[in-house]
Amino acid sequence: MATLYTQQSSNIRKTWFLMGVFLVVVIALGYAVSWFSGSFIFLYVALIFALVMNVTSFWYSDKIVLRMTNAKPIAKEEAPELYNIVENLAITTGLPMPKVYVVDDPAPNAFATGRDPKHAVVAVTTGLMQILDRSELEGVVAHEMAHIGNRDMLVMTVAVVLAGCVAMLADIFSRSLLYGGGNNRDRHPAFLILAIVGIILAPIAAKLIQLAVSRKREYLADATGALTTRYPEGLASALEKISSHNIPMKRTSHATAHLFIADPYGRGKRGFIQKAYSLFHTHPPAEDRISRLRSMGQV
């Protein structure tokens, strides 16, 4: 019978599979650019660029995210309940005590960042603290602690960098086609047609895979958070309140949207057309997450 542990293992395997697909797409697209131009310099440049961006994101991702979201450190005396919850969950999970930050924003939301558990940050909005009771806030913090424990921040950073690398390669190739570059145009037209189709679809595929990785991480963090608190209803109730507000944060960015527990653009309840469009959102539908959590509580 499936358990929380088997669900976590399954999601981890699927996530690394998606990351492998990302790498294949980057290499294949880089090779296509090099083939068309007649020089492998494009492939080398793309791989070096991806490596540099990876290293930069690894070391400075937390500082970049905190600045982009305008999160500020908060003292224990200013939010004793929040601090106590984070401390208790750090002890429960065996993780180092993360730094606690607050974002002055009425939209209820939260995120975690940092390259590893020793450099982790948990941040919540003022709106979140205002609408949640203790058990709900504990569920949200447990979700973020799960991201820290599962090393999700590093995985998500890699996904973003690889997606950006694919987009960059696609742009280089499209410009090469537009301006008539390349030494292999005398090859069969079918290859050129395939290359054009690939250059159009590759960024879309990369974005979809990036979003799929993000969604898998959210489901996994929900499951891990529920396992930590032993009370799935706390997080389920919190997600209900957060999604019902359905208001965007004051400072939003597509680069950091996947880090939040809920879509910072406030795209909550959706109609039929919006559900189809939600394939391009970084978060799975709140109703699906709530349903999964409540089904866990019934096991």
Active site residues: 144
- Concatenating the DSSP letter of every residue in 240-270 gives HHHHHH----SS--TTTGGGBSS-TT---S-
Order of strands across the sheet with 99-103?
72-73, 99-103, 121-125, 110-113
Sequence letter at residue 31: Y
Determine the Cα–Cα distance for residues 43 and 32; give it in Å rounded to an integer: 9
Query: If we measure between CA atoms, which residue out of 57, 60, 122, 105 comes closest to residue 251?
Result: 105
| Interstrand relation of 110-113 and 121-125 (parallel, antiparallel or unpaired) | antiparallel
CB distance 50 to 162 below 8 Å = yes
